[in-house]
Structure 1
Amino acid sequence: MADEGLRPIIVKRIKKGGGGHHGGAWKIAYADFVTAMMAFFLLMWLLGSTTKGDLNGISEFFKTPLKVAMQGGSGSGDSSSVIPGGGKDLTRKDGQVKGGDDPATTKKTFNLTAAKQAMEREETQRLQGLKERLQQKIENSPALQKFKNQLLLDFTSEGLRIQIVDEQNRPMFPSAKAELAGYTREILQEIGPILNDVPNKIGLSGHTDATPYFSENGYSNWELSADRANASRRALVQGGMQDNKVMRVVGLGSAVNLDRKDPFNPINRRISIIVMNKKTEEGLMRDAGKLEIGTGDGAAQEATQEAAPPVPLARQ
């Protein structure tokens, strides 16, 4: 029994494992980090060795790559390169338009300003041609040649202006009347058919000098100038001009003198025929036929003339 008290005490210690193998996940993370650093240093090297022009081209491409691909238009890409946005010169503004560059699906654009300017140039040439034909008619027609000093041709902001003016000893109308003199009717009937050569509309205005004229019923230079303009319209139509070409008939009295220094000068008594340009026609349509004295019948040009009437056609 005494031996049982001396029995040795045995302590068992269990050794746990050292964790075993942790795997290679850290290697993948390290490889990703090294790859990212290589890409970063490669990017820095490219930025440092690329010219400013190439950098601008790259920047422009990445700003609107989808817009060029979806809608077409100018882009910084160059279709000669297999890399979108690449090419020999990235500063070029004209590059790829659409994937495949199909001409049938390429978006077309129109320059309205250039088209309008082209139409204006064409109209100017047309009116210039009409002026030359009128000059030839005046020179070659025995009926008009003797009246060439009373026929004035020039251009205003409204179009081609044809003026028939009085001379001291050769008035267009009897005093204070709207009846055309024989030679005036002859001139208008000779001019009428030539005006059909152009599609432009026509405006007529009558002018008197500053000699006061009143009647008991209030008839004045205003009514007289309007009646003379309308009488001229009838003579043009009788000569062969189409009646639907007339867009405006007005009387301006003595408000717009050709000779501002001498308002009583016979040259102020005249009939003006305006072959209107498109801009003037559109302005009249917008204004519902309203006339502003400041712009009507080339009045702006006439008002600035200091006793310097247009030079008549030279005698041969």
Structure 2
Amino acid sequence: MADEGLRPIIVKRIKKGGGGHHGGAWKIAYADFVTAMMAFFLLMWLLGSTSKGDLNGISEFFKTPLKVAMAGGSGSGDSSSVIKGGGKDLTRKDGQVKGGDDPDVKKKTFNLTAAKAVLEKQEGERLQGLKDKLQAKIESSPALQKFKNQLLLDFTSEGLRIQIVDEQNRPMFPSAKSDLAPYTREILREIGPILNDVPNKIGLSGHTDSTPYYSESGYSNWELSADRANASRRALVQGGMQDEKVMRVVGLGSAVNLDRKDPFNPINRRISIIVMNKKTEEGLQRDAGKLEVGGGVSVVQEGAAAATEAAPAAAR
């Protein structure tokens, strides 16, 4: 028993390190605080950049989310989006819909074929109005009335055609020349201003009959018909027609006779004025592009007056 009083007492001291005065728990708390503040400011930014309508949808969602989700019905909670109406169509006020299914929004569709038909109809009415005006001018004008048998008006696939034809005893041009007879010049000057009433472009073509004609210099009725067409263009412009309306001037010789049964009929000697429709005008503009020749050399066909290249025919 005496030995027990002399037993040594051992005190163990555990030394803690690395935590400082309060340890490391404060770091976890501070990280949680920073995360919460970041989430708070992010929430405030989102709310600040959201429209009033979307805020109302969010508010309605948090008011009755379970009721709408379980029982269905109108509200923002019956969609997969917090935006009022839900889905991809933001124009809807209620319910989940597919984009563009709003019956209140009328869809605009365009029928190009129908639109083209309407434009062609309007152009046809405009050309018919021009024809009526020309016919009225021929009947009322003393300068034109006496030549009405030589003025032919009709429609072709290219547009309104105005033809001034020869008569046996009243030729438009002297034989083998491109000088306009006085009455022909008078007719063209009377017609010229009326052609300005429509925006359509103009094409002129000269024609001859099949009477043989050929000069030693190679000048044939191909060149003659082209020169006569160009002389007619000048008379129209002098009469008041706008020069920029002219889109084509050609000489066709006797290739396109008006009287195919009698190629020598004086009526085949004529000047044709075409008031082009839009289709013809666009076709000429589209075809007047570049023609590739040989090793990449481009030939651009331009200009108004051109004689058709072919074997010499005949004309007066």
**TM band (smaller chain):** 0.5 to 0.7
Find the counterpart in structure 2 of residue 245 from structure 1: 245
Find the counterpart in structure 2 of residue 308 from structure 1: none
Counting only pairs closer than 5 Å after superposition, residues 56-205 of structure 1 correspond to structure 2 as 98-103=100-105, 106-205=106-205
CA contact (8 A) 2:88 2:99 kept: no
Letter in 2 for 1:260: R
Find the counterpart in structure 2 of residue 16 from structure 1: none
Q: CA deviation at 1:107?
A: 3.6
CA contact (8 A) 2:205 2:249 kept: yes
State the alpha-carbon separation in 2 of the partners of residues 213 and 70 from structure 1: 79
Letter in 1 for 2:103: D
Q: CA deviation at 1:109?
A: 1.4
Q: CA deviation at 1:101?
A: 2.9
Find the counterpart in structure 1 of residue 215 from structure 2: 215
CA RMSD of aligned residues (A): 2.5
SS in 2 for 1:153: strand
Q: CA deviation at 1:253?
A: 0.2
Q: CA deviation at 1:261?
A: 1.1
* 1:8-59 Cα deviation digits (max 9, x unpaired): xxxxxxxxxxxxxxxxxxxxxxxxxxxxxxxxxxxxxxxxxxxxxxxxxxxx
1:70–1:241 CA distance, 2 compared to 1 (3 A): farther
Letter in 2 for 1:151: L
Q: CA deviation at 1:232?
A: 0.1
Q: CA deviation at 1:98?
A: 4.0
SS in 1 for 2:161: strand
State the alpha-carbon separation in 2 of the partners of residues 215 and 168 from structure 1: 24
TM-score norm. by structure 2 comes to 0.60
Find the counterpart in structure 2 of residue 276 from structure 1: 276
Q: CA deviation at 1:99?
A: 4.3
Number of corresponding residues: 202
1:214–1:252 CA distance, 2 compared to 1 (3 A): same
SS in 2 for 1:164: strand
Q: CA deviation at 1:108?
A: 1.7
SS in 2 for 1:249: strand
State the alpha-carbon separation in 2 of the partners of residues 101 and 206 from structure 1: 61
State the alpha-carbon separation in 1 of the partners of residues 240 and 156 from structure 2: 25
* 1:70-105 Cα deviation digits (max 9, x unpaired): 69xxxxxxxxxx9x9xxxxxxxxxxx99444343xx
CA contact (8 A) 2:190 2:239 kept: yes
Find the counterpart in structure 1 of residue 307 from structure 2: none
1:198–1:70 CA distance, 2 compared to 1 (3 A): farther
Unaligned runs of 5+ in 2: 1-86, 90-94, 290-300, 303-316
Letter in 2 for 1:152: L
TM-score norm. by structure 1 comes to 0.60
Q: CA deviation at 1:164?
A: 0.1
Find the counterpart in structure 1 of residue 227 from structure 2: 227
* 1:236-275 Cα deviation digits (max 9, x unpaired): 0000000000000000000000111111110000000000
1:70–1:148 CA distance, 2 compared to 1 (3 A): farther
Unaligned runs of 5+ in 1: 1-68, 72-81, 85-95, 292-316
State the alpha-carbon separation in 1 of the partners of residues 149 and 108 from structure 2: 54
The alignment-based identity, stated in percent, is 82
State the alpha-carbon separation in 1 of the partners of residues 112 and 131 from structure 2: 29
State the alpha-carbon separation in 1 of the partners of residues 124 and 188 from structure 2: 23
Find the counterpart in structure 2 of residue 44 from structure 1: none
